[in-house]
Amino acid sequence: MQASSLAAVSCDTKSATNGRRWAVEDVLALYDMPLMDLIWRAQEVHREHFDPNAIQRSTLLSVKTGGCSEDCSYCSQSARYETDTARERLMPLDEVVAAAKAAKDKGASRFCMGAAWKGPKDNDLDRVLDMVREVKALGMQTCVTLGMLKEGQAEKLKEAGLDYYNHNLDTDKEFYGQVIKTHTHDDRLDTLDQVRDAGINVCSGGIIGMGESRKNRAALIVQLANLPKPPESVPINNLVPIPGTPLADNPRLDPFEFVRTIAAARITMPTSWVRLSAGRQEMSDELQALCFLAGANSMFYGDFLLTTGNPDIERDDALFARLGIKAV
Beta strand pairing call for 206-208 and 164-166: unpaired
**Pattern 233-262, binding to ligand SF4, x per CB under 6 A?**
------------------------------
Q: Of 41, 143, 217, 291, which one is the catalytic site residue?
A: 143
Q: Of 57, 110, 196, 203, which one is the catalytic site residue?
A: 203
Question: Does 75 participate in catalysis according to the annotation?
Answer: yes
Q: What's the rounded Cα separation, in Å, for the pair 298 and 86?
A: 29
Question: Does 72 participate in catalysis according to the annotation?
Answer: yes
Amino acid at site 174: E
Q: What's the rounded Cα separation, in Å, for the pair 32 and 260?
A: 9
**Pattern 123-162, binding to ligand SF4, x per CB under 6 A?**
------------------------x---------------
167 near ligand SAM (CB under 6 A): yes
167 touches which of ligand SF4, ligand DTB, ligand SAM, none (CB within 5 to 8 A by kind)?
Answer: ligand SAM
Are 326 and 320 spatial neighbours (Cβ–Cβ below 8 Å)? Answer: yes
Question: Does 291 participate in catalysis according to the annotation?
Answer: no
120 near ligand SF4 (CB under 6 A): no
Secondary structure of 259-304 as H, E, C letters: HHHHHHHHHHCCCCEEEECCCHHHCCHHHHHHHHHCCCCEEECCCE
75 near ligand SAM (CB under 6 A): yes
Are 74 and 210 spatial neighbours (Cβ–Cβ below 8 Å)? Answer: yes
- Decide whether 56 or 237 has the Cβ nearer to ligand SF4: 237
Chain CA centroid to CA 317, Å: 21
**Of 10-18, 124-132, 156-164, 165-173, which part binds ligand SAM (CB under 6 A)?**
165-173
- Among 60, 143, 242, 294, interactor with ligand SAM by CB under 6 A: 242
- Decide whether 177 or 309 has the Cβ nearer to ligand DTB: 309
133 vs 17, 91, 100, 162, 309, CA distance in Å? 34, 15, 12, 8, 27
Per-position DSSP letters for 109-165, written without gaps between them: SEEEEEE--SS--HHHHHHHHHHHHHHHHTT-EEEEE-SPPPTTHHHHHHHHT--EE
77 near ligand SF4 (CB under 6 A): yes
- What does R_g of the chain's alpha carbons equal in angstroms? 19
- Decide whether 45 or 72 has the Cβ nearer to ligand SF4: 72
Binding site for ligand DTB (CB under 6 A): 60, 76, 114, 145, 166, 168, 205, 235, 237, 240, 277-278, 305-308
- In angstroms, give the least distance from the CB of 125 to ligand SAM: 14
Question: Does 68 participate in catalysis according to the annotation?
Answer: yes
- Decide whether 30 or 149 has the Cβ nearer to ligand SAM: 149
Q: Which residues does residue 260 pair with via DSSP β-bridges, in sequence order?
A: none
What residues make contact with ligand SAM under the rule CB under 6 A? 74-75, 77, 114, 116-117, 145, 147, 167-168, 170, 207, 237, 239-240, 242, 278, 306
